[in-house]
Structure 1
Amino acid sequence: MLERVHLVIVREVARQGSLTAAAESLFLTQSALSHTVKKIEQQLGTPIWHREGRSLRPTQAGQYLLSLAERLLPQFELAEERMKQYAAGERGTLRIGMECAPCYQWLLKVVSPYLARFPDVDVDVKQRFQFGGIGALIGYDIDVLVTPDPLNRPGLRFEPVFDYEQVLVVAENHPLAGERYVKPEQLVDETLITYPVETDRLDIYNQFLRPAGIIPRRHKTIETTDIMLQMVASHRGVAALPKWLAEEYADRMPLAIVKLGKQGIAKQIFLGTREDDAVVDYLNLFVEFARESNWQTPRVRR
Protein backbone atom coordinates (compact mmCIF):
# COMPACT_ATOMS: atom_id res chain seq x y z
CA MET A 1 0.00 0.00 0.00
CA LEU A 2 1.32 3.40 -0.97
CA GLU A 3 1.81 5.63 2.05
CA ARG A 4 2.65 9.26 2.56
CA VAL A 5 6.09 8.40 3.95
CA HIS A 6 6.90 6.71 0.63
CA LEU A 7 6.22 9.94 -1.21
CA VAL A 8 8.37 11.88 1.27
CA ILE A 9 11.29 9.52 0.65
CA VAL A 10 10.87 9.62 -3.14
CA ARG A 11 10.86 13.41 -3.12
CA GLU A 12 13.85 13.72 -0.80
CA VAL A 13 15.97 11.18 -2.65
CA ALA A 14 15.23 13.02 -5.90
CA ARG A 15 16.13 16.34 -4.28
CA GLN A 16 19.37 15.13 -2.74
CA GLY A 17 20.44 12.76 -5.54
CA SER A 18 21.83 10.08 -3.22
CA LEU A 19 20.78 7.89 -0.31
CA THR A 20 23.51 9.33 1.91
CA ALA A 21 22.38 12.93 1.51
CA ALA A 22 18.69 11.99 1.68
CA ALA A 23 19.24 9.97 4.87
CA GLU A 24 20.96 12.94 6.49
CA SER A 25 18.12 15.28 5.46
CA LEU A 26 15.52 12.86 6.83
CA PHE A 27 17.46 12.27 10.07
CA LEU A 28 17.88 8.56 9.28
CA THR A 29 20.90 6.32 8.99
CA GLN A 30 21.89 5.35 5.47
CA SER A 31 21.28 1.68 6.18
CA ALA A 32 17.79 2.40 7.53
CA LEU A 33 16.90 4.45 4.46
CA SER A 34 18.38 1.84 2.11
CA HIS A 35 16.28 -0.83 3.81
CA THR A 36 13.15 1.34 3.50
CA VAL A 37 13.83 1.98 -0.20
CA LYS A 38 14.09 -1.77 -0.90
CA LYS A 39 10.90 -2.39 1.08
CA ILE A 40 9.01 0.25 -0.91
CA GLU A 41 10.06 -1.33 -4.20
CA GLN A 42 9.07 -4.78 -2.94
CA GLN A 43 5.67 -3.55 -1.84
CA LEU A 44 5.04 -1.78 -5.15
CA GLY A 45 6.40 -4.68 -7.20
CA THR A 46 8.56 -2.49 -9.44
CA PRO A 47 11.88 -0.66 -9.17
CA ILE A 48 11.53 3.08 -8.74
CA TRP A 49 15.21 4.05 -9.00
CA HIS A 50 18.06 3.36 -11.36
CA ARG A 51 21.23 2.96 -9.33
CA GLU A 52 24.22 4.70 -10.89
CA GLY A 53 27.04 4.27 -8.41
CA ARG A 54 26.05 6.22 -5.33
CA SER A 55 23.46 8.21 -7.23
CA LEU A 56 19.85 7.30 -7.81
CA ARG A 57 17.76 8.27 -10.80
CA PRO A 58 14.01 7.62 -10.88
CA THR A 59 12.62 4.99 -13.21
CA GLN A 60 9.43 5.66 -15.14
CA ALA A 61 7.44 4.40 -12.14
CA GLY A 62 9.65 6.48 -9.84
CA GLN A 63 9.09 9.58 -11.96
CA TYR A 64 5.33 9.09 -11.64
CA LEU A 65 5.65 8.81 -7.84
CA LEU A 66 7.87 11.88 -7.78
CA SER A 67 5.30 13.86 -9.74
CA LEU A 68 2.60 12.63 -7.34
CA ALA A 69 4.74 13.57 -4.32
CA GLU A 70 5.34 17.08 -5.64
CA ARG A 71 1.60 17.59 -6.07
CA LEU A 72 0.30 16.00 -2.89
CA LEU A 73 2.91 16.65 -0.21
CA PRO A 74 2.60 20.46 -0.29
CA GLN A 75 -1.15 20.03 0.22
CA PHE A 76 -0.57 17.75 3.21
CA GLU A 77 1.94 20.21 4.65
CA LEU A 78 -0.43 23.14 4.15
CA ALA A 79 -3.29 21.18 5.72
CA GLU A 80 -1.16 20.36 8.77
CA GLU A 81 -0.16 23.99 9.15
CA ARG A 82 -3.79 25.06 8.87
CA MET A 83 -4.82 22.51 11.51
CA LYS A 84 -2.25 24.00 13.87
CA GLN A 85 -3.66 27.45 13.18
CA TYR A 86 -7.21 26.24 13.72
CA ALA A 87 -6.16 24.69 17.03
CA ALA A 88 -4.55 27.97 18.06
CA GLY A 89 -7.66 29.94 17.06
CA GLU A 90 -5.72 31.82 14.38
CA ARG A 91 -7.46 30.73 11.20
CA GLY A 92 -10.82 29.48 10.02
CA THR A 93 -13.93 30.32 8.07
CA LEU A 94 -16.56 32.06 10.15
CA ARG A 95 -19.94 31.07 8.68
CA ILE A 96 -22.62 33.58 9.65
CA GLY A 97 -26.34 32.93 9.24
CA MET A 98 -28.75 35.87 9.03
CA GLU A 99 -32.29 35.71 10.43
CA CYS A 100 -32.53 39.49 10.47
CA ALA A 101 -32.79 40.78 6.90
CA PRO A 102 -32.09 44.47 7.68
CA CYS A 103 -29.16 43.49 9.93
CA TYR A 104 -26.94 42.92 6.90
CA GLN A 105 -25.92 46.60 6.84
CA TRP A 106 -25.12 46.41 10.55
CA LEU A 107 -23.06 43.27 9.97
CA LEU A 108 -20.92 45.02 7.35
CA LYS A 109 -19.84 47.54 9.99
CA VAL A 110 -18.65 44.68 12.20
CA VAL A 111 -17.05 42.50 9.51
CA SER A 112 -14.83 45.22 8.06
CA PRO A 113 -12.69 45.89 11.18
CA TYR A 114 -12.84 42.21 12.14
CA LEU A 115 -11.27 41.09 8.85
CA ALA A 116 -8.57 43.73 9.25
CA ARG A 117 -7.77 42.33 12.71
CA PHE A 118 -7.84 38.67 11.58
CA PRO A 119 -6.40 38.41 8.05
CA ASP A 120 -6.25 34.60 8.29
CA VAL A 121 -9.98 34.23 9.00
CA ASP A 122 -12.49 34.16 6.13
CA VAL A 123 -16.14 35.17 6.53
CA ASP A 124 -19.06 33.55 4.71
CA VAL A 125 -22.54 35.05 5.16
CA LYS A 126 -25.64 32.93 4.55
CA GLN A 127 -28.86 34.95 4.38
CA ARG A 128 -31.44 32.24 3.73
CA PHE A 129 -32.13 31.21 7.31
CA GLN A 130 -35.45 32.92 7.96
CA PHE A 131 -36.99 29.60 8.95
CA GLY A 132 -34.07 27.38 9.97
CA GLY A 133 -31.38 29.41 11.69
CA ILE A 134 -31.42 27.39 14.91
CA GLY A 135 -31.28 24.10 13.01
CA ALA A 136 -28.41 25.39 10.89
CA LEU A 137 -26.47 26.35 14.02
CA ILE A 138 -27.13 23.02 15.74
CA GLY A 139 -26.28 21.14 12.54
CA TYR A 140 -22.91 22.93 12.10
CA ASP A 141 -23.99 24.54 8.82
CA ILE A 142 -23.20 27.95 10.35
CA ASP A 143 -21.07 29.10 13.29
CA VAL A 144 -22.87 32.31 14.26
CA LEU A 145 -26.56 33.16 13.97
CA VAL A 146 -27.57 36.84 13.79
CA THR A 147 -31.12 37.10 15.09
CA PRO A 148 -33.43 39.50 16.94
CA ASP A 149 -35.39 36.53 18.33
CA PRO A 150 -33.19 34.08 20.27
CA LEU A 151 -34.54 30.67 21.23
CA ASN A 152 -33.20 28.73 24.19
CA ARG A 153 -31.81 25.38 23.08
CA PRO A 154 -29.42 23.00 24.88
CA GLY A 155 -25.86 23.54 23.69
CA LEU A 156 -26.46 27.05 22.33
CA ARG A 157 -25.78 30.48 23.79
CA PHE A 158 -27.08 33.88 22.70
CA GLU A 159 -25.30 37.16 23.41
CA PRO A 160 -27.07 40.53 23.02
CA VAL A 161 -24.76 42.80 21.04
CA PHE A 162 -26.81 45.73 19.78
CA ASP A 163 -29.91 47.65 20.96
CA TYR A 164 -32.22 49.33 18.51
CA GLU A 165 -35.77 50.62 18.08
CA GLN A 166 -38.26 49.37 15.50
CA VAL A 167 -39.99 52.31 13.77
CA LEU A 168 -42.49 53.00 11.02
CA VAL A 169 -41.17 54.46 7.76
CA VAL A 170 -43.51 56.49 5.55
CA ALA A 171 -43.16 58.96 2.68
CA GLU A 172 -42.11 62.38 3.96
CA ASN A 173 -45.48 63.92 2.92
CA HIS A 174 -47.57 60.97 4.13
CA PRO A 175 -50.45 61.92 6.51
CA LEU A 176 -48.67 60.04 9.34
CA ALA A 177 -45.32 61.78 8.77
CA GLY A 178 -46.09 64.57 11.24
CA GLU A 179 -47.28 62.30 14.06
CA ARG A 180 -45.22 61.95 17.26
CA TYR A 181 -46.17 58.27 17.25
CA VAL A 182 -48.58 56.06 15.33
CA LYS A 183 -51.41 53.98 16.80
CA PRO A 184 -52.26 50.48 15.46
CA GLU A 185 -55.66 51.57 14.15
CA GLN A 186 -53.98 54.20 11.98
CA LEU A 187 -52.51 51.41 9.82
CA VAL A 188 -55.78 49.66 9.08
CA ASP A 189 -56.06 51.25 5.62
CA GLU A 190 -52.35 51.00 4.79
CA THR A 191 -50.31 48.60 2.66
CA LEU A 192 -47.62 47.19 4.92
CA ILE A 193 -44.40 46.25 3.13
CA THR A 194 -42.09 43.77 4.87
CA TYR A 195 -39.30 41.34 4.09
CA PRO A 196 -40.49 37.86 2.99
CA VAL A 197 -40.71 36.47 6.54
CA GLU A 198 -43.68 34.74 8.17
CA THR A 199 -45.89 37.26 9.95
CA ASP A 200 -45.49 35.25 13.17
CA ARG A 201 -41.89 36.44 13.21
CA LEU A 202 -42.54 40.10 12.43
CA ASP A 203 -42.46 42.54 15.37
CA ILE A 204 -44.87 44.93 13.67
CA TYR A 205 -47.49 42.16 13.87
CA ASN A 206 -46.56 40.51 17.18
CA GLN A 207 -45.88 43.61 19.26
CA PHE A 208 -48.06 46.23 17.62
CA LEU A 209 -50.92 45.18 15.33
CA ARG A 210 -52.17 41.84 16.67
CA PRO A 211 -52.41 42.89 20.35
CA ALA A 212 -54.79 45.64 19.14
CA GLY A 213 -56.69 43.27 16.83
CA ILE A 214 -55.63 45.21 13.74
CA ILE A 215 -54.80 43.84 10.28
CA PRO A 216 -53.51 46.21 7.58
CA ARG A 217 -55.49 46.51 4.37
CA ARG A 218 -52.75 44.75 2.43
CA HIS A 219 -49.46 43.01 3.20
CA LYS A 220 -46.77 43.04 0.51
CA THR A 221 -43.30 41.41 0.73
CA ILE A 222 -40.11 42.69 -0.92
CA GLU A 223 -36.66 41.15 -0.47
CA THR A 224 -34.39 44.19 -0.81
CA THR A 225 -34.34 47.23 1.47
CA ASP A 226 -33.65 49.64 -1.39
CA ILE A 227 -36.69 48.59 -3.41
CA MET A 228 -38.86 48.45 -0.30
CA LEU A 229 -38.08 52.06 0.60
CA GLN A 230 -38.40 53.23 -2.99
CA MET A 231 -41.94 51.86 -2.82
CA VAL A 232 -42.56 53.65 0.50
CA ALA A 233 -41.21 56.94 -0.85
CA SER A 234 -43.57 56.56 -3.83
CA HIS A 235 -46.62 56.19 -1.55
CA ARG A 236 -47.01 52.48 -2.36
CA GLY A 237 -47.07 51.51 1.32
CA VAL A 238 -45.38 51.85 4.71
CA ALA A 239 -42.65 49.72 6.30
CA ALA A 240 -41.31 48.86 9.76
CA LEU A 241 -37.51 48.87 10.08
CA PRO A 242 -34.78 49.38 12.66
CA LYS A 243 -34.42 53.10 13.37
CA TRP A 244 -30.71 53.18 12.55
CA LEU A 245 -31.38 51.73 9.10
CA ALA A 246 -34.38 53.98 8.49
CA GLU A 247 -32.31 57.05 9.37
CA GLU A 248 -29.59 56.01 6.94
CA TYR A 249 -32.09 55.90 4.06
CA ALA A 250 -34.01 58.98 5.20
CA ASP A 251 -30.86 61.04 4.67
CA ARG A 252 -31.00 60.38 0.92
CA MET A 253 -34.66 59.61 0.21
CA PRO A 254 -37.94 61.51 0.87
CA LEU A 255 -38.89 59.47 3.94
CA ALA A 256 -40.14 60.16 7.45
CA ILE A 257 -39.74 58.10 10.62
CA VAL A 258 -42.52 57.66 13.18
CA LYS A 259 -42.44 55.88 16.54
CA LEU A 260 -44.56 52.72 16.77
CA GLY A 261 -46.82 53.43 19.74
CA LYS A 262 -46.23 55.86 22.56
CA GLN A 263 -43.58 53.65 24.17
CA GLY A 264 -41.99 52.48 20.94
CA ILE A 265 -40.73 48.94 20.21
CA ALA A 266 -37.32 48.21 21.72
CA LYS A 267 -35.33 45.36 20.18
CA GLN A 268 -31.89 43.75 20.38
CA ILE A 269 -29.67 41.90 17.95
CA PHE A 270 -28.30 38.64 19.36
CA LEU A 271 -25.45 36.47 18.17
CA GLY A 272 -26.06 32.76 18.68
CA THR A 273 -23.15 30.32 18.94
CA ARG A 274 -22.59 26.74 20.05
CA GLU A 275 -21.37 26.23 23.62
CA ASP A 276 -18.75 23.73 22.46
CA ASP A 277 -17.18 26.47 20.31
CA ALA A 278 -16.33 28.52 23.40
CA VAL A 279 -12.64 27.66 22.92
CA VAL A 280 -12.50 29.08 19.37
CA ASP A 281 -10.79 32.41 19.89
CA TYR A 282 -11.59 34.04 16.56
CA LEU A 283 -15.28 33.23 16.99
CA ASN A 284 -15.43 34.67 20.52
CA LEU A 285 -13.60 37.77 19.37
CA PHE A 286 -16.16 38.28 16.60
CA VAL A 287 -18.83 38.48 19.30
CA GLU A 288 -16.68 41.02 21.15
CA PHE A 289 -16.24 43.09 17.99
CA ALA A 290 -20.00 43.05 17.45
CA ARG A 291 -20.72 44.10 21.04
CA GLU A 292 -18.14 46.90 21.05
CA SER A 293 -19.17 48.29 17.66
CA ASN A 294 -22.65 49.40 18.86
CA TRP A 295 -22.56 51.93 16.03
CA GLN A 296 -25.24 54.36 15.13
CA THR A 297 -25.46 56.06 11.76
CA PRO A 298 -25.11 59.84 12.30
CA ARG A 299 -28.13 61.69 10.94
CA VAL A 300 -27.29 64.48 8.52
CA ARG A 301 -29.89 67.21 8.83
CA ARG A 302 -31.06 68.61 5.51
Structure 2
Amino acid sequence: MELRLLRYFEAVARHQHVTRASAELAVAQPALSKAMRDLERAYGGVALFERIGRNIRLTEAGEFLLVRARSILAQVDAVHEEMQARLGVRGGRVTVGAPPTVGVRLLPAVLAAFHRLYPQIELRVREAGTQALTGMLAAGEIDIAVVTLPTIERGFRVTPLFEEELVIVAAEGHPLAQQRSIPFAALVDEPFLLYPPGYEMRDATLRACRRAGFTPRVVLDGGDMDMLLRLAEAGLGVTLIAPLALGSARLAVLSIADQELRRTMALSMRDDPATSPATLTLHAFLAERLVRRTT
Protein backbone atom coordinates (compact mmCIF):
# COMPACT_ATOMS: atom_id res chain seq x y z
CA MET A 1 0.00 0.00 0.00
CA GLU A 2 1.42 3.39 -1.04
CA LEU A 3 1.11 6.40 1.24
CA ARG A 4 0.26 8.38 -1.88
CA LEU A 5 -2.97 6.41 -2.32
CA LEU A 6 -3.94 6.91 1.31
CA ARG A 7 -3.37 10.68 1.04
CA TYR A 8 -5.48 10.79 -2.12
CA PHE A 9 -8.21 8.71 -0.46
CA GLU A 10 -8.28 10.93 2.64
CA ALA A 11 -8.69 14.08 0.52
CA VAL A 12 -11.48 12.56 -1.61
CA ALA A 13 -13.27 11.31 1.51
CA ARG A 14 -12.94 14.68 3.24
CA HIS A 15 -14.26 16.67 0.26
CA GLN A 16 -16.75 13.99 -0.83
CA HIS A 17 -15.95 15.24 -4.31
CA VAL A 18 -13.21 14.13 -6.72
CA THR A 19 -12.87 17.49 -8.50
CA ARG A 20 -12.35 19.48 -5.29
CA ALA A 21 -9.89 16.87 -3.99
CA SER A 22 -7.93 16.95 -7.26
CA ALA A 23 -7.60 20.74 -6.98
CA GLU A 24 -6.25 20.47 -3.42
CA LEU A 25 -3.82 17.70 -4.34
CA ALA A 26 -2.75 19.28 -7.66
CA VAL A 27 -3.43 15.95 -9.38
CA ALA A 28 -5.37 15.60 -12.63
CA GLN A 29 -8.93 14.39 -12.01
CA PRO A 30 -8.60 11.29 -14.27
CA ALA A 31 -5.40 10.30 -12.44
CA LEU A 32 -7.11 10.72 -9.07
CA SER A 33 -10.11 8.65 -10.16
CA LYS A 34 -7.76 5.93 -11.39
CA ALA A 35 -5.90 6.01 -8.07
CA MET A 36 -9.18 5.39 -6.23
CA ARG A 37 -9.94 2.43 -8.51
CA ASP A 38 -6.43 1.10 -7.85
CA LEU A 39 -7.04 1.41 -4.12
CA GLU A 40 -10.31 -0.52 -4.38
CA ARG A 41 -8.60 -3.25 -6.41
CA ALA A 42 -5.84 -3.47 -3.79
CA TYR A 43 -8.55 -4.51 -1.31
CA GLY A 44 -10.03 -7.19 -3.54
CA GLY A 45 -12.44 -4.95 -5.42
CA VAL A 46 -14.35 -3.69 -2.37
CA ALA A 47 -16.31 -0.48 -3.02
CA LEU A 48 -15.04 2.44 -0.92
CA PHE A 49 -17.42 5.07 -2.33
CA GLU A 50 -20.94 5.34 -3.65
CA ARG A 51 -22.14 8.16 -5.90
CA ILE A 52 -24.95 10.51 -4.87
CA GLY A 53 -25.53 12.95 -7.72
CA ARG A 54 -22.31 14.86 -8.24
CA ASN A 55 -21.00 13.99 -4.81
CA ILE A 56 -19.74 10.73 -3.36
CA ARG A 57 -20.25 9.09 0.01
CA LEU A 58 -18.13 6.54 1.84
CA THR A 59 -19.37 2.98 2.12
CA GLU A 60 -18.98 1.09 5.39
CA ALA A 61 -15.63 -0.23 4.14
CA GLY A 62 -14.64 3.30 3.17
CA GLU A 63 -15.49 4.65 6.64
CA PHE A 64 -13.33 1.94 8.21
CA LEU A 65 -10.41 2.69 5.88
CA LEU A 66 -10.69 6.45 6.49
CA VAL A 67 -10.16 6.01 10.24
CA ARG A 68 -7.12 3.81 9.63
CA ALA A 69 -5.74 6.04 6.87
CA ARG A 70 -5.91 9.17 9.01
CA SER A 71 -4.14 7.35 11.84
CA ILE A 72 -1.35 6.19 9.51
CA LEU A 73 -0.93 9.61 7.89
CA ALA A 74 -0.83 11.31 11.29
CA GLN A 75 1.96 8.94 12.32
CA VAL A 76 3.89 9.68 9.12
CA ASP A 77 3.57 13.44 9.69
CA ALA A 78 4.68 12.92 13.29
CA VAL A 79 7.80 11.13 12.02
CA HIS A 80 8.53 14.17 9.82
CA GLU A 81 8.29 16.41 12.87
CA GLU A 82 10.45 14.10 14.98
CA MET A 83 13.09 13.94 12.25
CA GLN A 84 12.95 17.72 12.06
CA ALA A 85 13.83 17.93 15.74
CA ARG A 86 16.47 15.18 15.49
CA LEU A 87 18.17 16.76 12.49
CA GLY A 88 18.08 20.16 14.09
CA VAL A 89 15.90 21.67 11.38
CA ARG A 90 15.25 24.93 13.15
CA GLY A 91 15.41 27.11 10.09
CA GLY A 92 17.26 27.68 6.87
CA ARG A 93 16.57 28.51 3.27
CA VAL A 94 16.03 26.03 0.44
CA THR A 95 15.79 26.93 -3.25
CA VAL A 96 13.89 24.56 -5.52
CA GLY A 97 14.07 24.63 -9.31
CA ALA A 98 11.41 23.14 -11.58
CA PRO A 99 10.13 23.31 -15.17
CA PRO A 100 6.91 25.28 -15.74
CA THR A 101 4.58 22.26 -15.76
CA VAL A 102 5.72 21.10 -12.33
CA GLY A 103 6.26 24.60 -10.95
CA VAL A 104 2.73 25.71 -11.82
CA ARG A 105 0.67 22.51 -11.59
CA LEU A 106 2.27 20.51 -8.75
CA LEU A 107 4.62 22.51 -6.54
CA PRO A 108 2.21 25.09 -5.05
CA ALA A 109 0.09 22.58 -3.12
CA VAL A 110 3.10 20.50 -2.08
CA LEU A 111 5.16 23.47 -0.88
CA ALA A 112 2.15 24.84 1.00
CA ALA A 113 1.83 21.51 2.83
CA PHE A 114 5.56 21.56 3.61
CA HIS A 115 5.34 25.10 4.96
CA ARG A 116 2.57 24.09 7.34
CA LEU A 117 4.88 21.45 8.81
CA TYR A 118 8.09 23.51 8.69
CA PRO A 119 7.14 27.21 8.85
CA GLN A 120 10.65 28.17 9.95
CA ILE A 121 12.20 27.10 6.61
CA GLU A 122 12.26 29.81 3.93
CA LEU A 123 11.43 28.48 0.47
CA ARG A 124 12.47 29.92 -2.87
CA VAL A 125 11.50 28.69 -6.33
CA ARG A 126 13.26 29.07 -9.68
CA GLU A 127 11.62 28.11 -12.97
CA ALA A 128 13.67 26.87 -15.93
CA GLY A 129 14.25 23.91 -18.25
CA THR A 130 16.21 20.81 -17.31
CA GLN A 131 19.48 21.97 -18.88
CA ALA A 132 19.46 25.28 -17.03
CA LEU A 133 18.33 23.68 -13.77
CA THR A 134 21.13 21.13 -13.91
CA GLY A 135 23.65 23.94 -14.37
CA MET A 136 22.15 25.91 -11.47
CA LEU A 137 22.31 22.82 -9.28
CA ALA A 138 25.96 22.18 -10.14
CA ALA A 139 26.80 25.84 -9.47
CA GLY A 140 25.06 25.85 -6.09
CA GLU A 141 22.44 28.38 -7.19
CA ILE A 142 19.62 26.00 -6.26
CA ASP A 143 19.48 23.13 -3.76
CA ILE A 144 16.94 20.77 -5.32
CA ALA A 145 15.68 20.44 -8.89
CA VAL A 146 12.83 18.63 -10.57
CA VAL A 147 14.32 17.54 -13.90
CA THR A 148 13.64 15.33 -16.88
CA LEU A 149 15.76 12.18 -17.06
CA PRO A 150 18.35 11.38 -18.13
CA THR A 151 20.74 13.93 -16.68
CA ILE A 152 24.38 13.40 -17.59
CA GLU A 153 26.18 15.24 -14.80
CA ARG A 154 27.79 13.14 -12.09
CA GLY A 155 27.81 13.95 -8.41
CA PHE A 156 24.01 14.23 -8.17
CA ARG A 157 21.57 12.15 -6.14
CA VAL A 158 18.66 11.36 -8.47
CA THR A 159 15.25 10.05 -7.35
CA PRO A 160 12.76 9.12 -10.13
CA LEU A 161 9.25 10.46 -9.47
CA PHE A 162 6.81 9.67 -12.27
CA GLU A 163 6.55 9.02 -15.98
CA GLU A 164 4.02 10.42 -18.42
CA GLU A 165 3.19 10.26 -22.10
CA LEU A 166 3.76 13.34 -24.23
CA VAL A 167 0.92 14.45 -26.49
CA ILE A 168 0.21 16.95 -29.24
CA VAL A 169 -2.40 19.61 -28.52
CA ALA A 170 -4.30 21.69 -31.05
CA ALA A 171 -7.36 23.93 -31.16
CA GLU A 172 -10.67 22.12 -30.63
CA GLY A 173 -11.72 23.06 -34.17
CA HIS A 174 -8.53 21.71 -35.78
CA PRO A 175 -9.06 19.21 -38.66
CA LEU A 176 -7.22 16.53 -36.65
CA ALA A 177 -9.21 17.18 -33.48
CA GLN A 178 -11.64 14.29 -34.06
CA GLN A 179 -8.81 11.76 -34.03
CA ARG A 180 -7.51 10.36 -30.78
CA SER A 181 -4.22 9.10 -32.19
CA ILE A 182 -2.14 10.13 -35.20
CA PRO A 183 1.25 9.28 -36.74
CA PHE A 184 3.70 12.09 -36.11
CA ALA A 185 4.19 12.51 -39.88
CA ALA A 186 0.57 13.74 -40.05
CA LEU A 187 1.91 16.99 -38.58
CA VAL A 188 4.34 17.63 -41.44
CA ASP A 189 2.40 20.67 -42.71
CA GLU A 190 1.32 21.99 -39.31
CA PRO A 191 2.72 25.19 -37.77
CA PHE A 192 4.60 24.40 -34.54
CA LEU A 193 4.85 26.34 -31.29
CA LEU A 194 8.13 25.67 -29.45
CA TYR A 195 9.43 26.06 -25.93
CA PRO A 196 12.65 28.11 -25.58
CA PRO A 197 16.10 26.49 -26.03
CA GLY A 198 17.14 24.51 -22.96
CA TYR A 199 13.71 22.97 -22.36
CA GLU A 200 13.42 19.21 -22.79
CA MET A 201 9.99 19.60 -24.44
CA ARG A 202 11.58 21.57 -27.25
CA ASP A 203 14.28 18.93 -27.75
CA ALA A 204 11.67 16.15 -27.68
CA THR A 205 9.66 17.96 -30.37
CA LEU A 206 12.65 18.36 -32.67
CA ARG A 207 13.70 14.71 -32.15
CA ALA A 208 10.19 13.50 -33.00
CA CYS A 209 10.14 15.61 -36.17
CA ARG A 210 13.51 14.21 -37.27
CA ARG A 211 12.31 10.63 -36.70
CA ALA A 212 9.21 11.41 -38.77
CA GLY A 213 11.42 12.74 -41.57
CA PHE A 214 10.61 16.44 -41.59
CA THR A 215 11.75 19.81 -40.26
CA PRO A 216 8.98 21.61 -38.36
CA ARG A 217 7.56 24.87 -39.65
CA VAL A 218 7.94 27.01 -36.53
CA VAL A 219 5.58 29.97 -36.14
CA LEU A 220 6.54 30.80 -32.56
CA ASP A 221 9.89 30.02 -30.97
CA GLY A 222 10.46 30.64 -27.27
CA GLY A 223 7.04 31.00 -25.68
CA ASP A 224 6.38 29.99 -22.08
CA MET A 225 3.97 27.20 -21.16
CA ASP A 226 0.81 29.27 -20.74
CA MET A 227 1.52 31.30 -23.88
CA LEU A 228 1.97 28.13 -25.97
CA LEU A 229 -1.27 26.66 -24.64
CA ARG A 230 -3.25 29.86 -25.30
CA LEU A 231 -1.82 30.22 -28.80
CA ALA A 232 -2.63 26.58 -29.57
CA GLU A 233 -6.14 27.17 -28.20
CA ALA A 234 -6.48 30.17 -30.53
CA GLY A 235 -5.48 28.04 -33.54
CA LEU A 236 -2.02 29.47 -34.23
CA GLY A 237 -0.32 26.08 -34.21
CA VAL A 238 0.28 22.76 -32.48
CA THR A 239 2.66 21.97 -29.64
CA LEU A 240 4.01 18.93 -27.82
CA ILE A 241 3.31 18.91 -24.10
CA ALA A 242 2.92 16.69 -21.06
CA PRO A 243 -0.77 16.30 -20.05
CA LEU A 244 0.16 17.78 -16.68
CA ALA A 245 0.52 21.16 -18.43
CA LEU A 246 -3.06 21.31 -19.72
CA GLY A 247 -4.74 22.96 -16.77
CA SER A 248 -8.02 24.56 -17.85
CA ALA A 249 -7.07 25.07 -21.51
CA ARG A 250 -9.71 23.87 -24.00
CA LEU A 251 -7.67 21.87 -26.50
CA ALA A 252 -7.82 18.73 -28.61
CA VAL A 253 -5.34 16.18 -27.22
CA LEU A 254 -3.75 13.79 -29.73
CA SER A 255 -1.68 10.73 -28.84
CA ILE A 256 1.19 9.77 -31.15
CA ALA A 257 0.67 6.32 -32.64
CA ASP A 258 4.07 5.58 -34.16
CA GLN A 259 6.53 6.99 -31.62
CA GLU A 260 6.88 6.33 -27.90
CA LEU A 261 7.10 9.88 -26.58
CA ARG A 262 7.40 9.85 -22.79
CA ARG A 263 9.28 11.71 -20.11
CA THR A 264 10.44 10.64 -16.67
CA MET A 265 10.58 13.33 -14.01
CA ALA A 266 13.02 13.06 -11.12
CA LEU A 267 14.31 14.92 -8.09
CA SER A 268 17.96 15.86 -8.24
CA MET A 269 20.30 17.29 -5.62
CA ARG A 270 24.04 17.47 -5.15
CA ASP A 271 25.48 14.36 -3.50
CA ASP A 272 27.20 16.40 -0.81
CA PRO A 273 27.69 15.28 2.82
CA ALA A 274 27.44 18.94 3.85
CA THR A 275 23.86 19.27 2.55
CA SER A 276 21.81 21.24 5.07
CA PRO A 277 19.18 19.52 7.25
CA ALA A 278 16.54 21.83 5.77
CA THR A 279 17.41 20.68 2.23
CA LEU A 280 17.39 17.01 3.24
CA THR A 281 14.01 17.45 4.90
CA LEU A 282 12.43 19.12 1.87
CA HIS A 283 13.99 16.55 -0.48
CA ALA A 284 12.42 13.68 1.49
CA PHE A 285 9.07 15.49 1.57
CA LEU A 286 9.06 16.14 -2.18
CA ALA A 287 10.12 12.57 -2.93
CA GLU A 288 7.03 11.33 -1.10
CA ARG A 289 4.50 13.92 -2.27
CA LEU A 290 5.49 14.28 -5.94
CA VAL A 291 5.34 10.57 -6.74
CA ARG A 292 2.27 10.23 -8.92
CA ARG A 293 0.86 8.23 -11.82
CA THR A 294 -0.83 9.65 -14.88
CA THR A 295 -3.48 8.21 -17.12
Asked if TM exceeds 0.5, the reply is yes
Partner-residue secondary structure (3-state), 1:256: strand
Deviation at 1:238, TM superposition (A): 0.8
If asked which structure has higher relative contact order (CA below 8 Å, sep 6+), I would say 2
Measure how far apart 1:167 and its partner are.
1.0
| Structure 1 position 192 matched with structure 2 position 188 | no
What is residue 258 of structure 1 aligned with on the other side? 254
Q: CA deviation at 1:199?
A: 7.6
Shift in Å at residue 115 of structure 1? 1.4
5+ residue gaps, structure 1, are 1-84
Within the candidate set 259, 262, 268, 2:264 is matched to 268
Q: Is the 8 A contact 2:167 2:242 kept in 1?
A: yes
Task: Choose 166-175 or 147-156, whichever is displaced more.
Answer: 147-156
Q: Distance in 2 between matches of 1:180 and 1:296?
A: 21
Quote the Cα distance in structure 1 between the aligned partners of 2:274 and 2:180: 45
Q: Given residue 196 of structure 2, which amino acid in structure 1 is its aligned partner?
A: P
Q: TM-score, normalised by structure 2?
A: 0.62
1:142 aligns with 2:138: no
Trace 1:91-110 onto structure 2 (pairs within 5 A). 91-98=91-98, 100-105=99-104, 106-110=106-110
* 1:262-284 residue CA offsets vs partner (Å, 9 max, x unmatched): 46422121111011157644323
- 1:1-302, aligned counterparts within 5 Å? 88-98=88-98, 100-105=99-104, 106-128=106-128, 131-198=131-198, 202-206=203-207, 208-246=208-246, 248-250=247-249, 253=250, 255-262=251-258, 264-277=260-273, 280-293=276-289, 294-295=291-292
Select the structure of larger CA radius of gyration.
1
TM-score (norm 1): 0.60
Residue 24 of structure 1 is matched in structure 2 by none
Shift of the 297–134 alpha-carbon distance from structure 1 to 2, 3 Å rule, reads closer
Percent identity of paired positions between Structure 1 and Structure 2: 25
For each residue in 1:244-301, what CA deviation from the matched residue of structure 2 results, as whole angstroms up to 9, or x when unmatched?
Answer: 222x234xx3x11111234642212111101115764432333333333335799xxx
Pick closer, same or farther for the CA change 1:174–1:278 going to 2, 3 Å.
farther
Instruction: Kindly provide the amino acid, as one letter, of the partner of residue 266 in structure 1.
Output: R
SS of the residue corresponding to residue 249 of structure 1 reads coil
Structure 1 runs, 4 residues or longer, greater than 3 Å off: 128-132, 198-201, 277-282, 294-298
Unaligned runs of 5+ in 2: 1-84
Q: Structure 1: how far apart are the matches of 2:122 and 2:294? A: 26
Q: Is the 8 A contact 1:159 1:271 kept in 2?
A: yes
